[in-house]
Structure 1
Amino acid sequence: MKAVRPDRKSIKIKLVTAFILTSIIPILLVNIIYYYNTSKLVQQNVESMTKANLEQTKVSLDVWLDSYEDILFQVYTDDTIVELVDKINAGEDVANNRKLLRKTLRGLFYTKDYVKSISIITESGELVFYDQLTASTTQTSWLDSIALSQAELYEEISLDNKTHLFPTGAEVIFGSNSCYLFHIGHRIIDYRDVEKKCGAVMVSIDVKLLEEVCGAPTDKGLNFIMDGNGYLVACPNSKEVGKPVVSGCAGKEDKKEACRRTARGTGLFGDRELSVYSVYDEKTGWEIVRITDQGDLVLGLYDQQKMLGFIILLSLLAVLIIMVSQVSRMTGAIKRVVETMRKAGRGDLTVHVGPDDTRPTEIEIIAEEFNSMMDKLKRSTEKQKDAEIAALEAQINPHFLYNTLDTINWMAIDKDEYEISNMIATLAGILRYGISDSNGVVKIKDEVEWLKQYIFLQQTKLKNSFECHIDVAPELMNLSIHKLLLQPFIENAILHGFEGVDRTSCLQMSMRRDLDFIKIQIEDNGCGISSEKVKEMNEGIFQKTDDKNHIGMENAITRLHMYYGESAKVVIDSKPGKGTTVRIQIPITKGESAYEGSGG
């Protein structure tokens, strides 16, 4: 028998080698590449969702600050406040005028949550304010918490006609009350002499507003805000608000490390590895920072690889079957999660990763974190929508308006001007109805009654130059409709449709039921609209020109789609010289019947 060459390998070794070369190594290589690509894709999607969260927070911040600037606008343009400030500057009965001015500020104080103080600095150096934290009339709670003196503050605000934003300073403490405040300021404008310097107004706002915009912190993530100089403007669970986080000239990596230290100071993250994302808000000059803990994500992917490697080493004979089973299970779970993330990346913010009992624990953590993030985005989007709807409607102080109208009414009665008194009373009722919960839901009969009062005022104003007929099916009267939807179309017909028409003007409105919809038709025999403009309006195109005839209609159509979605339809038909017809379709509210309670 021929001796076996000592250098010849046995079949066992060859098979093992071949098995390793054809199975183990390729599988390991494929698994390594798959791990790298999956980690990269998941990281990209998490980063994309984090950036989307930051952008949404930025939008919410701007919308909320815009709403608080409305209070500032009411103060610095108010004629009564301007008159009182002028008297104080002139040294005229300063004590009494200070008292009247403070009383006026108190009337504006509760129009918004989180407002802690409204203050006015006059040109003569007087400080008049209403402060929630202190009962004092001579010392504010906030002035000592910021770096500028009263004179420097006034000088900076008076330089231009812009709104000035002053970030959070030191903690304000008065007795048992304490809070952090940021401030917005504007110079007072007298429209009779816009260049005149007479005073400046400051609105001090609790930083809890900014914390609410940032969202509740968790051990998975935290949002906070810094100003352009690196000072901490707002951060939940932090006592470092108003203090510097990083110098303005620090490098990118130094800045990230400083942000990580700030996040760890809240006690939520310990020594875990943190990722830092940020977005710059051009309106405020602030930077919104997002801190996330992605350690679980990385650890989960790493544990999956160790598990697969252990299975391969444990049983070479069954490694292919085991690996195929494990990889298929993990691949399916990750693909479902990733596909859901891709849908969200394409703009569908309603998607969620569905339950899957076969999903590994680590991937389940990713799915739960993703679902949690989507829920936060949805809530943030709903808040933005409410804020945008509120921003579409006029901001006005109803108490001031009603008191003024009541005063004018009594003046008319004193002079036996009862017709004027009736008109003012009607106007007050119209405004009270329109301003109170202006995007609320009312019965059709109430909306129709309000429209009749509005048309009565227009007829009186225009000396009964037009006729009006309203025909509403009785069975519709107790159904629901959003307030103030039809008035812009009525107003457009009265103010612009009848302009330049020498025949008898007539306006007609009818409401009928068609299956599950309410059909509304508003028709006038006025001057009409050109066919080109009608086509644009039916396509949802409203040109931004000096002609403001159809701005109200554009806003009304926008609100219709906000409230009723695609179920709402508006079609405009017009012939120049013959008149215009607007046909509106809105759905009957689910659960209501047009035949229930038709009385009234």
Structure 2
Amino acid sequence: MKKIKSLRGRIFVDIMIVAMFPILIFAIISQGSLRVWQKNDLQERMQANLENADRCFDIQLDKYNAILFDLCTDDVVVEAVENINNNDDAMEVNTSKLRHELSHVCNRNQGIEGITIFLANGEVIFYDKQNSSSTSSDWAGKVHCPEVKKEQVYQGQIQPIVVNDKHTYLLQIARNLIDYRDIHEKLGTVVFSIDEQLISNILQVGANANTYLLEGNYVISAPSVAKIGRTLDSVKNTRKNLYISKVNQMSQFTICIERDISTYRKTMNEQVGLLLGVAFIAFLVMIFLSYIFTRPYIHVIQSVGQGFHEVETGNFETRLEFWKRAPEEIKDIEFGFNEMVENLDNLINQVKQALLEQKNAELSALEAQIDPHFLYNTLDSINWKAIENEQYDISSMLVALANILRYTVDNAGGTSTLAQELGWLKQYMLLQGTRLGKIPVIETDIPEELFGFQIHKLLLQPFVENSVKYGFYGKEEECVLKISARKMEHQIHIQIEDNGNGITQGKIDELNDEQRDMTGHLGITNVRKRLKLYYGEEAMVYFESEEHLYTRVHLFIPMTDEYQKA
């Protein structure tokens, strides 16, 4: 019963999933579209706020830059600074002029908390607006003097100044003081110290949002002074807020807007709740409908399960039979099951017969097997008999034959080095020379680094045999067989050339046609098959010849990791 209930449940759930799938897809797509629209709308509004903050910041910087420029180009200021630099200020008249001018600029412009002038002679003149003093200040005379390479330089301060228990953070603008009669002469550097809170008020863009001003990754202006001096990563709360930033081109400070997205998430959660409610109601409806519609098919599934159980126990006589008015799909199941069982029964009988034939073939092969050591020992005995009778040619032939057989039988189908293959061919040619009445000359042209290249055994033998059998047959002149090898990118090119009788062009065309039936050339056919088997489609062989002059065989073997130098 457990198995039946589980099967019923699986079908029941699958039907519900299929039925509810369109509803869920529609709900998910609509929710996704709404989320994307709301998120894009939020980002567009944040982008507009960011652009507005950037413009307001530029306007404020332009204002202070204009004031700073006027101060740096004022003739009175320039003349006073020159006199001080030239030590022409015995009565401190010029110093008094500068201090008066600095106090006048500070008191006339909101936000400028102090002005500091670093003179070329090392002297520092300042005015501290908060203390209303140009002679005594805990901070104005200690302001860092930046190196100004362009028109002006901007820098933030992450440590506040403290005056009468009031903490004030500053942003600073610096500009070189230059005599415009000689622009190459730097008279000093002027630094404006601006109240950060004024800049922060300008950058704020509305409710549910905070604007930070960053120098690098450090906050130099923020609605809450507790966050100044901290890194942006330590200030961020990506779970509650969304962030967008932009580099201000004038100051190279980064403006970052932080937007509370709790309202956005609340709307999204309400939409998800609505979706879950609709899905739950649809789920209840589908439970009832699925139960009604699945009942007629449970019997079919049970019958199929029982049929498989019977087949598992070895009963291949099992057949399914459903009611006559069953749907076509059910009838297909009935027909497919019955045909499958019948095919399985036939297949098992065929496998049994094949195993029996294989076992008989193995027994026959074992009975016909000759121990290679028996053959080697017999050849060795014959060799010694030949030596005793001073038949040294026969002895050499027997030794060559034994080496050939040993090379062929040992690790049959395996690989050997190109040098070993050439050594075997020389032994082979020694025996083949008896057919010709003379031993052909073997010339090799193979770089030393290719001697260790791995090649499958007996790939070259059929071509050498053809040279002896057809090329050198009836030839009275010296018979020469040339074997060369070269490395070509990722391939080894092996060339076998004889100076024999040659081959007609028609025969060459037949040999180079891989699709042609090569009756009478079984060795070449076998080599082609072995090349494809061992090396794949990258390996190839082709022939060229000229009658009465030569025949060349070209083999191309890929240099894979398996066949690299041993």
Alignment TM class, shorter chain as reference: 0.3 to 0.5
TM-score, L = length of structure 1: 0.42
Quick check: which has more Rg, 1 or 2? 2
Higher relative contact order (CA 8 A, sep 6+): 1
> Comparing both structures, which one devotes a greater share of its residues to helix?
2
